[in-house]
């Protein structure tokens, strides 16, 4: 029996953090990571994350680590990796992320999120060792869900962005493969993940870059939005617990929310972010934040609130995310200060 785990999107924000945890935990003999290192955002950040993983792996005498650059939309590449490594667990995090980008660039979502995911499913089907497929879905599948908190029992048939439609499609495809080929599959709906070395296309990171340059920041829906911000360590803890416990239902298929369960208004979020940026000395104490805040209408594809119901996660894995927003943003601000030598 192989003791290998294959993680796609390993140079990404969540993938890199998960890999660091798994290498340290030595649960698997080998962690194999793949990523196409695309330039959706600054590639040097992805290279930095890989360097951190390389260093951690060198210091650790447990799990071996191997990185291969390639695209999950390339069927030959995916098949070869599976044949070579015979993974016992697969965590599919590679995807084109971002709601707004999907409005202007739909093709890349179909390629990575639909074709890429299909290739991963097909490879899982032919992988004898496979014990569990865990894959990233998203809170965006809830669209304009009126009922809060969002439960995995709610109907999610009305996506408001192509990104959301691809994530919902992943859940449907996984269900089909689980049912037809008895592949244990768990989909995880992540809620607005943030943290150190995160994604520069997300609000907390983008706002920080803009404020530092003296540009204005746009706060959508005039600030009347709430997001269930979830610290990356909580997401990684959730994934690593889920990995260990493939579903035993018939078909072996489950979906969970992983979110903080405490939505925060965008204006309050910006307020905490600015306090932490001052505290970390990224911005000066006398920075005129008010002069740089622009309240603007809602954007297409956006939703007014996200709010995770995490009862199922608590029941099945004895875990609920609990990092307070201020603490998580403090880690981000401190990392930003060091990384960009401010």
Ligand X SMILES: NC(=O)c1ccc[n+]([C@@H]2O[C@H](COP(=O)([O-])OP(=O)(O)OC[C@H]3O[C@@H](n4cnc5c(N)ncnc54)[C@H](O)[C@@H]3O)[C@@H](O)[C@H]2O)c1
Q: Does 280 bind ligand X (CB under 6 A)?
A: no
Q: Are 175 and 133 in contact (CB under 8 A)?
A: no
Q: Strand 293-295 vs strand 217-219: parallel, antiparallel, or unpaired?
A: parallel
What are the residues whose beta carbons fall under 8 Å from the beta carbon of 38, sequence distance 6 or more? none
List the x/- string, 134-163, binding to ligand X by CB under 6 A. --x-x-------------------------
List the interface residues with ligand X, window 27-46 (CB under 6 A): 35-38, 46
Distance CA 176, CA 183 (A): 9
Q: Does 199 bind ligand X (CB under 6 A)?
A: yes
To ligand X, the closest distance from the beta carbon of 110 in angstroms equals: 11
List the x/- string, 222-261, binding to ligand X by CB under 6 A. ----------------------------------------
To ligand X, the closest distance from the beta carbon of 41 in angstroms equals: 7
257 alpha-carbon distance from chain centroid: 12
Q: Does 71 bind ligand X (CB under 6 A)?
A: yes
What is 288-299 written as a DSSP string? --GGGEEE-PPP
By three-state DSSP, how is residue 11 classified?
A: coil
Task: Kindly report the length of the chain.
Answer: 342
To ligand X, the closest distance from the beta carbon of 236 in angstroms equals: 10
Residue among 101, 142, 163, 194 flagged as catalytic: 163
Distance CA 277, CA 158 (A): 37
| Residue number, 107 or 295, with CB nearest to ligand X | 107
> Known catalytic residue: 48?
no
Segment contacting ligand X by CB under 6 A, of 89-97, 125-133, 173-181, 332-340: 89-97
> Number of residues in contact with ligand X, rule: CB under 6 A?
28
Of all residues in this chain, which one has the CB nearest to ligand X in the complex?
12
Distance CA 200, CA 189 (A): 21
Q: Does 66 bind ligand X (CB under 6 A)?
A: no
Q: Strand 217-219 vs strand 132-138: parallel, antiparallel, or unpaired?
A: unpaired
To ligand X, the closest distance from the beta carbon of 191 in angstroms equals: 7
Q: Does 193 bind ligand X (CB under 6 A)?
A: yes
Q: Does 13 bind ligand X (CB under 6 A)?
A: yes
To ligand X, the closest distance from the beta carbon of 92 in angstroms equals: 7
Tokens 């992988």 map to which residue?
127
Q: Does 67 bind ligand X (CB under 6 A)?
A: no
Provide the H-helix boundaries in the chain: 13-25, 43-59, 75-85, 101-104, 106-109, 117-125, 162-181, 203-213, 232-243, 266-279, 311-317, 325-339
Please state, as a whole number, how many other Cβ atoms lie within 10 Å of the Cβ of residue 187. 26
φ, ψ for residue 159, nearest 5 deg: -65, 145
- Interface contacts to ligand X, rule CB under 6 A: 8-9, 11-15, 35-38, 46, 71-73, 93-97, 112, 116, 136, 138, 190, 192-193, 199
């Amino acid at each position: 029996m192989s003791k290998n785990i294959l993680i796609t999107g390993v140079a990404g924000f969540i993938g890199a953090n998960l890999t660091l945890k798994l290498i340290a935990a030595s649960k698997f003999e080998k962690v194999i990571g793949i990523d196409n290192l695309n330039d959706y955002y600054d590639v040097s950040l992805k290279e930095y994350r890989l360097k951190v993983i390389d260093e951690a792996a060198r210091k650790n005498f447990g799990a071996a680590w191997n990185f291969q650059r390639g695209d999950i939309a390339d069927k030959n590449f995916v098949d070869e990796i599976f044949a070579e490594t015979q993974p016992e667990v697969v965590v599919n995090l590679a995807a084109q992320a971002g709601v707004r980008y999907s409005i202007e660039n739909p093709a890349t979502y179909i390629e990575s999120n639909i074709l890429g995911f299909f290739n991963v499913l097909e490879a899982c089907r032919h992988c004898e060792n496979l014990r569990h497929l865990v894959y990233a879905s998203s809170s965006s599948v809830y669209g304009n869900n009126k009922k809060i908190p969002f439960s995995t029992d709610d109907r999610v048939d009305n996506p408001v962005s192509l990104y959301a439609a691809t994530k919902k499609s992943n859940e449907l495809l996984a269900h089909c493969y689980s049912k037809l080929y008895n592949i244990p599959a768990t989909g995880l709906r992540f809620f607005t993940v943030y943290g150190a070395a995160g994604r520069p296309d997300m609000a907390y990171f983008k706002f920080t870059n803009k404020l530092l340059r003296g540009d204005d920041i746009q706060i959508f829906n005039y600030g009347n939005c709430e997001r269930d911000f979830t610290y990356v360590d909580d997401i990684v803890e959730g994934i690593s617990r889920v990995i260990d416990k493939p579903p035993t239902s018939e078909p072996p298929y489950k979906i969970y929310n992983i979110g903080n369960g405490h939505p925060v208004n965008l204006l309050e979020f910006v307020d905490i972010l600015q306090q932490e940026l001052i505290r970390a000395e990224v911005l000066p104490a006398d920075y005129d934040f008010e002069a740089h805040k622009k309240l603007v209408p809602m954007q297409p594809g956006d939703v007014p609130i996200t709010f995770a119901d995490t009862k199922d996660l608590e029941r099945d894995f004895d875990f609920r995310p609990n990092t307070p927003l201020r603490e998580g943003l403090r880690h981000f601000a401190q990392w930003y200060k060091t990384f960009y030598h401010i």
